[in-house]
Amino acid sequence: MKHVIAFVVMVTVGFSSTVWAAQEGAARRGGAQARQKTGFTSIRIELPPHKYATALLPDSPFGINNGLAGRPMAVIERHLRGFQEAGIKWGRQDFTWRSIETAPGVYNWETYDALVDACRAHGQLIFGNFAYGPAWRDRQGNVIEQWKDYDPGTPEGVAKYAAFAAAAAARYKGKVDHWQIWNEPNGGFFYNYGPEKYAALLAAAGKAIKQANPDAKVLALNSAFCDVLFAERVLSRVPPDAYDMICFHPYRVMCAPEEKFDWWQLDQYVKAWKSVGLDGKPLDENWPLIRMSMLEQTDEMIKVMEKYGPRKPIWITEICWNTNIHPYGTPELRQADMIVRLHVLCIASQKIQKIFWWTFMDGQNERQYDMGDMVGLVRPDYEPKYSFYGFAFMTRMLEGKKWIGNFSFGNDQIYTCVFRDEQAGEDTIVAWATRPYAYIKVTNTERGLTFYDVLGTRRFVPLDPPRTNDLTVPLGESPIYIVAPAGVRARNRPDPGW
């Protein structure tokens, strides 16, 4: 049959990485001392070539946090080959202010010139995140004279930031046309000036970027969590033409995206961050977003956006399911499932345009118990985790196909989302349930039905009247792909039995 796309090879002697991983782990660390490897992958999956491997695809939803600036070019190239193999067509890349503006008004672009060109050569578009300015105080708290005007919480610092953003937008026009205004400015480690001053930064930088490149798009908020309170406080102070997209980081740790409970909202946003409502009162366990799915939280963000202007695209610019063996961790196999469910939910809801996974590689320390280390699709020596294969197979199944509708979107806890390949005359149904078992009926055809799991294992059911005319298909929490001629139908059915 023509649907042979991938196959799984079980390694029977020792452990293995994929063919593409090769023996480059030590080289990428530049001769660093060998560390003890704590994670191994016991399967090897041969992936077919990606149809769009070197193509630049502006409409692709599949992105990642690159984290490549400042690395040796050999390491950058190695990462980019991995991105290309995974089918990652977009990258989020810090354009670190203090690394580029090396003296007041002096910009050193050399590192980023090479990086931008390398990404594009590997079929990846990027957007730049402007953040992390020059240190304007020393460790004793004394103002550093040459950087005294670079505090981003002051009007002078805002003007310097806007000038830097405009210079980058002009330099990379046509190569990088999307720019993000700071990282997680709603609190935490990266920006502690509050929503009023961030609004001033966004308004000034957004205007400067668009003057430097009228085709540029400005990405606003970029908040930790789906922080609708921060969004309300910022968007009420910013003209809508200052930005083009809204971004946020709706980490849910172990909670599935469809789940109507979010432990991270409760334990981090409400308790650890001590977040305060618009009425000035501390939030508590009754904060409504705790008991919402990811898409319901997104609806709340859309309401805030529409309150202050027209609805604009939403990008998730950080999210992952950490695979740490510790609280808030999730098993590695489940991480692969979550990747597919997340992307399909975003696309099929038509609420979220792009998703940028955090991040490609686990931390160098490879502490299996550490939440910050266990975030990647691959291990520090480039050995793929299940999630890499899940991501790579998903992009091969869905890139270039058009979402055309959903037969079920949560009804009976079942999801069946349909993507069409107009050229091939085929539909691909992505199906799963949010319970251990469920069933759907799929109409069979003379060409039969081809099934794939998240790792690419293939099964085929021919038309065998009357037994397979109206085929009962079992579902679970791990998604499957069903490939059939265009127009195939699926419907939920009671379980169990005939």
Instruction: State residue 145's pLDDT score.
Output: 87
Q: Which residues contact 424 (CB under 8 A, 6 or more apart)?
A: none
What CATH code is carried by the domain that includes residue 425?
2.60.40.1180
373 & 482 share domain: no
The SS3 assignment for 301 reads helix
In a domain, 193, yes or no: yes
In a domain, 460, yes or no: yes
What CATH code is carried by the domain that includes residue 90?
3.20.20.80
Instruction: State residue 34's pLDDT score.
Output: 53
In a domain, 2, yes or no: no
* pLDDT tens readout for residues 451-495: 999 999 999 999 999 999 999 999 999 999 999 999 999 999 988
Instruction: State residue 455's pLDDT score.
Output: 97
In a domain, 197, yes or no: yes
Residue where a domain stops, chosen among 378, 401, 424? 401
106 & 227 share domain: yes
Ranges of residues in the chain with a pLDDT under 70 are 1-35, 498
233 & 307 share domain: yes
453 & 320 share domain: no
411 & 426 share domain: yes
* Enclosing domain of residue 71: 7-32+40-401
In a domain, 116, yes or no: yes
As given in the structure block, the two tokens for residue 157 are 């610092």
184 & 269 share domain: yes
25 & 45 share domain: yes
Query: CB count, 10 Å around CB of 193?
Result: 16
Instruction: State residue 2's pLDDT score.
Output: 43
Residue where a domain stops, chosen among 367, 401, 435? 401
244 & 372 share domain: yes
In a domain, 71, yes or no: yes
Residue 100 CA to residue 94 CA, distance in Å, equals 11
* pLDDT tens readout for residues 406-432: 999 999 999 999 999 999 999 999 999
Instruction: State residue 361's pLDDT score.
Output: 97
In a domain, 296, yes or no: yes
Q: Which residues contact 2 (CB under 8 A, 6 or more apart)?
A: none
In a domain, 498, yes or no: no
484 & 339 share domain: no
392 & 411 share domain: no
293 & 409 share domain: no
182 & 255 share domain: yes
What is the count of structural domains for the chain? 2
Residue where a domain stops, chosen among 373, 401, 429? 401
Q: At what angle do helices 294-307 and 228-235 cross, to 10 degrees?
A: 10
Please report which helix (H) or strand (E) contains residue 113, including its range: helix 110-121
Instruction: State residue 5's pLDDT score.
Output: 43
